[in-house]
């Protein structure tokens, strides 16, 4: 180690920078540019190309690789190519594969016919199942199979027919098991079991059994013993009917696709005789069903199959099925049967509106039955009130009217309104009309609808539900401007008189959007006050949190000016109704998300700041020991978004006061504290910018206060690397503001906590070695130390020595080279400190170049320290190949040790080449030895070695680097043997 004599070479940084600049070359228009799309030409070889042709199957006009971003635009990206290949495979698929895609193709075709503006049945299922529930016990009949054996003494054809009829009779006469006392969930589970049994029977070619299951399920729709559950029962059972209809249709389609697939727009003439016979067979089976209701439902389920038999099959069948429904005695059952016929009719033949209209007119005649003795007796037995009973009709009537109103002219709405007036403004019908027709049509007639609502009989159907339906349309379309205030007053007079809090809020929630859409904060504030008045008694708000949240969301949709929002007197009292912690936090999060998205300008408005601090504190105070890390991170990001939007302009002291208050308020969320420290550091740098680096007594005191804020806040952070990085950053900011003692304290604090760094840290839930993170920090720290002046009361380079001592004492991982890598990284810093002019400096801060002025003693101290570090590095290189450096019995361990030695030797060689004065013979010999050591076993990458030699040759051409010419002659490339 004593033989190493370090001397840093002199550097002229400006000259080196000039030599590194690229030569500017003018680029003419039309030349290649990296962002210019690459034109690629593909030529396909024809099948008839003669032998010896030079044509290639695919050739490119450019040698450059295709740009993946440009290729996406012309459809040649991997996903587009995959889709194209898939479509090609589909066109060449076998007969069986094409039938598998039948359902998907047909659904796409139907959606194109109906259009995206038609709300499908699937969107209504969940709402109906959630709305129409019951706690009463239900019953169901399960099919048990047939025990009858066929009569062996008959001909084959007659036996086949008789067997099928007997199997159907068997279902209707017995072989069933009744399950009683089922809950609603049990009932739904049993229906799903029947659906699975249907699919299994079909897949095992038990077609008659599948039909029996469907018949049995259809029979359940005649049972109204638990009448409140009937709409949900209808949804569950028609799912099975839909499955059956699809299976039958796909089976017949498959039979038609032999030998070639049937076109989508086929006619009955394209269907072969076998498929037609099978189709007729299914209709004959269904015609054999004795009871009206199952026969009607099952035939409706396979209505689409009429297309295989006749061009006008569906058109002729729909009127017959419509007439069949008139034979159903129960008006509720008949209404849902009509709804199912309309549903299937819209899927099969949406253009046949005559049958839909006939269904609706038949429906109107059934309203007279509701007041009849049989229905009233049933309601009395089940203890169901008339208003509740009428709501059971809503899904069916709404669907029928939706089908009729789909893309209907505006004149039809006028006709419907007149028919409704003829029926004394039947409230149930009026409600469905407002929900079915386009909101634009309803909005233009809003005043007329309000007049009709006033004339309705409230005993059967509550008026507030009618106003709710009207409000849904007005939330989507605008009525005439001159009528808006009158509409709101008329509606609110009725809504505010609703006594039941839940009914009141369900209606008020809808009209809040209309108010926000067309009026000012004054009217919205009045609405909020009315809601508070209704929901506060008996703490009714506790049962209405979802609706109250909806009110908040609608207000936030239309009010993005938070100074206006928070100036509403009743807005914050409205928030106080959210007293359940989880709901309260969700509401605060929704407010914060809108604030961050729409608050584009920095604010100092005290109304906004006080309100947002209250909201952020609510979110912060919800954090406890059980809060998940993801939730903490989410809340912290929202609060950080608020902190970033606060600015007091040139009133820096007020900004610092805000950060002090925020630190006390959000002390449990570490990311927020980190942001506050960054904010204060930014505040100090902004002060420096305003003063142009010339601090007055007042601003100097202020930036010292900022440094004190950071110095006090950083120790409260639990993340060791957050503390290290913030100490370093805050020290750099203090240094830039000429706060030398504060900067010294930050840097000393960073060095003092280095021993606390654990050997592993958690990164995204996984334990990882902290070594790479620690090395990154130390390298950044070393770069800062170049401009940090030595303390007058401490020795030369006391911070550098303190850091290296900590590195020496730190417990590194076993078989780790991290300590030596730090030593290698410290050499360039020490070499830079020997220069007459430093590579970079801080204005108005005297670095060691000024303090020592090239003093020989200072340079001697640096050279001694460099020699010590090089000695430590060389000792480590020797240890790597000694017996104690690795497990000698393990070839893998030896190989790894040699690799490490090669990498470290090459790194030290690079440092000596860049920063050492190689005119010193001993230093030159050391660099040659390191080169040879790094290449001794061939583990050094050849490309890097070649480029290094080229760099040395280039350097040797410089006037002051001619001595490198002799050195390069002695550097030899070696390969692994």
Q: How far is the first Cα of the chain from the last one, in angstroms, to the nearest whole number?
A: 31
Instruction: Count the neighbouring beta carbons within 10 Å of the beta carbon of residue 254.
Output: 18
| Cα gap 666→621, rounded to integer Å | 8
- Closest to 419 measured CA to CA, from 357, 344, 376: 357
User: Given CA atoms 634, 663, 601, 682 in this order, what sign does their dihedral have?
Assistant: negative
Residue 457 phi/psi, 5-degree rounding, is -85, 115
Task: Name the token pair of 851.
Answer: 């303090």
Residue 2 DSSP one-character state: T
> Rounded to an integer, what distance in angstroms lies between the CA atom of residue 471 and that of residue 476?
9
3-state secondary structure of 681: helix
Angstrom distance (rounded) from CA 265 to CA 259:
17
Find out whether 171 and 217 touch, Cβ atoms under 8 Å.
no
Check whether the bond before 259 is cis (ω within 30° of 0).
yes
Number of alpha carbons in the 13 Å side-chain half-sphere of residue 214: 32
- Return the exposure string of 666-683: e unless at least 16 CB atoms fall within 10 Å of the residue's CB, then b: bebbbbbbbbbbbbbbeb
Residue 263 pLDDT: 77
pLDDT of residue 607: 93
Q: Which two tokens stand for residue 366?
A: 């059934």
Rounded to two decimals, the pTM is 0.73
Q: By C-alpha distance, which of 386, 357, 242 is closest to 300?
A: 242
d(CA 927, CA 921): 10
In three-state secondary structure terms, 214 is helix
Q: Which residue, 734, 849, 726, 740, is CA-closest to 786?
A: 849
Buried b (16+ CB within 10 A) or exposed e, 567-583: ebebbeebbebbeeeeb
Q: Where are the alpha helices (DSSP H) in 519-651?
A: 521-535, 545-558, 562-566, 571-575, 581-598, 606-621, 629-644
Query: The tokens of 463 are what?
Result: 């008026």
Cα–Cα distance, 717 to 730 (Å, whole number): 14
HEC secondary structure over 857-916: HHHHHHHHHHHHHHHHHHHHHHHHCCHHHCCCCCHHHHHHHHHHHHHHHHHHHHHHHHHE
Query: The tokens of 161 are what?
Result: 């027919």
Exposed e or buried b per residue across 266-282, where buried means at least 16 C-beta atoms within 10 angstroms of its C-beta: eeeeebeeebbebbeeb
Residues in the chain: 977
C-alpha–C-alpha distance, residues 817 and 411, integer Å = 85
pLDDT means per 10 residues, the chain with 977 residues, are 70 81 64 58 44 40 47 47 45 41 45 70 88 81 48 46 54 54 84 90 90 91 90 93 92 80 78 87 90 93 88 84 90 92 87 75 78 86 87 89 87 86 81 89 92 80 88 91 93 92 92 94 95 94 94 94 93 94 95 94 93 95 91 96 94 96 95 97 96 94 97 95 96 95 95 92 84 93 93 86 93 89 95 91 89 86 93 91 59 83 93 89 90 86 90 86 85 68
pLDDT recorded at residue 49: 41
Q: What is the pLDDT of residue 365?
A: 78
Q: Is 768 helix (H, G, I), strand (E, B) or coil?
A: strand
Query: In the 8-state DSSP scheme, what is residue 646?
Result: B
């Amino acid at each position: 180690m004593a033989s190493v004599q370090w001397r840093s070479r002199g550097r002229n940084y400006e000259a080196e920078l000039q030599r590194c600049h690229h030569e500017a070359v003018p680029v003419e228009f039309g030349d290649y540019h990296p962002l210019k799309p690459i034109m690629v030409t593909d030529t396909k070889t024809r099948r008839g190309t003669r032998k010896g042709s030079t044509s290639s199957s695919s050739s490119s006009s450019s040698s450059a690789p295709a740009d993946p971003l440009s290729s996406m635009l012309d459809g040649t990206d991997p996903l587009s190519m995959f889709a194209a290949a898939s479509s090609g495979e589909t066109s060449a698929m076998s007969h069986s594969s094409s039938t598998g895609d039948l359902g998907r193709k047909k659904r796409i075709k139907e959606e194109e016919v109906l259009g995206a503006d038609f709300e499908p049945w699937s969107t209504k299922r969940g709402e109906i199942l959630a709305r129409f529930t019951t706690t009463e016990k239900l019953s169901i009949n399960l099919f048990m199979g047939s025990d009858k054996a066929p009569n062996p003494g008959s001909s084959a054809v007659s036996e086949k027919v008789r067997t099928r009829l007997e199997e159907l009779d068997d279902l209707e006469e017995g072989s069933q098991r009744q399950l009683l006392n089922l809950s609603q969930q049990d009932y739904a589970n049993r229906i799903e079991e029947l659906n699975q049994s249907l699919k299994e029977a079909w897949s095992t070619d038990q077609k008659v059994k599948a039909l029996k299951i469907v018949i049995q399920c259809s029979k359940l729709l005649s049972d109204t013993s638990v009448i409140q559950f009937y709409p949900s029962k209808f949804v569950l059972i028609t799912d099975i009917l839909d499955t059956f209809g699809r299976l039958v249709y796909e089976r017949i389609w498959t039979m038609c696709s032999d030998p070639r697939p049937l076109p989508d727009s086929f006619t009955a003439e394209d269907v072969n005789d076998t498929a037609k016979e099978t189709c007729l067979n299914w209709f004959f089976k269904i015609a054999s069903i004795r009871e009206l209701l199952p026969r009607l439902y099952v035939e409706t389920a396979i209505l689409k199959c009429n297309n295989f038999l006749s061009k006008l099959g569906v058109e002729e069948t729909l009127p017959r099925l419509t007439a069949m429904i008139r034979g159903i005695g129960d008006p509720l059952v008949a209404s849902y049967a009509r709804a199912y016929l309309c549903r299937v009719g819209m899927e099969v033949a949406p253009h046949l509106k005559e049958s839909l209209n006939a269904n609706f007119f038949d429906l109107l005649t059934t309203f007279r039955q509701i007041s009849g003795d049989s229905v009233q007796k049933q309601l009395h037995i089940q203890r169901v009130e008339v208003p509740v009973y009428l709501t059971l009709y809503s899904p069916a009537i709404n669907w029928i009217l939706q089908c009729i109103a789909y893309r209907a002219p505006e004149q039809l709405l006028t006709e419907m309104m007149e028919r409704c007036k003829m029926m004394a403004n039947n409230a149930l019908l009026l409600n469905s009309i407002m929900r079915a027709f386009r909101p634009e049509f309803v909005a233009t007639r809003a005043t007329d609808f309000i007049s009709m609502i006033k004339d309705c009989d409230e005993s059967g159907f509550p008026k507030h539900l009618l106003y709710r339906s009207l409000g849904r349309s007005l939330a989507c379309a605008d009525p005439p401007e001159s009528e808006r205030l009158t509409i709101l007053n008329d509606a609110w007079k009725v809504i505010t008189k609703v006594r039941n809090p839940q009914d009141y809020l369900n209606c008020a929630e809808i009209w809040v959007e209309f108010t926000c859409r067309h009026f000012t904060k004054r009217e919205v504030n009045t609405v909020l006050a009315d809601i508070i008045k209704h929901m506060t008694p008996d703490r009714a708000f506790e049962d209405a949190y979802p609706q109250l949240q909806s009110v908040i969301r609608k207000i936030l949709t239309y009010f993005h000016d938070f100074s206006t929002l928070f100036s509403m007197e009743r807005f914050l009292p409205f928030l106080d109704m959210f007293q359940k912690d989880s709901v309260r936090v969700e509401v605060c999060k929704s407010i914060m998300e809108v604030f961050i998205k729409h608050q584009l300008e920095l604010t100092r408005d005290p109304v906004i700041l006080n309100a947002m601090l209250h909201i952020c504190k609510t979110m912060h105070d919800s954090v406890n020991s059980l809060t998940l890390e993801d939730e903490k991170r989410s809340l912290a990001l929202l609060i950080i978004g608020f902190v970033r939007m606060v600015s007091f302009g040139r009133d820096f002291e007020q900004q610092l006061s805000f950060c002090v208050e925020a630190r006390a308020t959000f002390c449990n969320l570490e990311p927020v504290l980190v942001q506050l420290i960054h904010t204060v550091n930014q505040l100090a740098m902004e002060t420096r910018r305003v003063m142009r680096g010339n601090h007055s007594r007042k601003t100097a005191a202020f930036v010292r206060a900022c440094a004190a804020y950071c110095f006090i806040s950083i120790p409260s952070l639990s993340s060791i690397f957050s503390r290290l990085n913030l100490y370093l950053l805050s020290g750099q900011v203090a240094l830039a503001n000429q706060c030398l003692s504060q900067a010294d304290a930050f840097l000393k604090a960073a060095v003092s906590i280095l021993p606390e760094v654990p050997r592993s840290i958690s990164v995204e839930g996984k334990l990882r070695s902290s070594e790479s993170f620690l090395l990154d920090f130390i390298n950044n720290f070393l770069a800062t130390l170049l401009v940090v002046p030595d303390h007058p009361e401490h020795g030369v380079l006391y911070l550098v020595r303190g850091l290296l001592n900590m590195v020496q004492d730190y417990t590194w991982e076993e078989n780790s080279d991290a300590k030596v890598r730090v030593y290698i990284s410290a050499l360039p810093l020490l070499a830079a400190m020997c220069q007459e002019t430093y590579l970079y400096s801080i204005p108005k801060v005297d670095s060691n170049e000024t303090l020592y002025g090239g003093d020989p003693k200072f340079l001697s101290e640096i050279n001694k320290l460099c020699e010590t570090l090089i000695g430590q590095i060389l000792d480590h290189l020797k240890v790597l190949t000694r017996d104690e450096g690795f497990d000698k019995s393990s070839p893998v361990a030896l190989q790894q040790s040699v690799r490490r030695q090669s990498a470290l030797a090459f790194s030290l060689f690079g440092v000596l080449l860049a920063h050492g004065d190689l005119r010193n013979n001993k230093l030159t010999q050391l660099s040659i030895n390191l080169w040879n050591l790094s290449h001794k076993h061939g583990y050094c990458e050849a490309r890097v070695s070649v480029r290094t030699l080229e760099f040395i040759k280039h350097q040797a051409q410089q006037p002051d680097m001619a001595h490198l010419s002799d050195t390069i002659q002695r550097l030899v490339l070696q390969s692994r043997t």
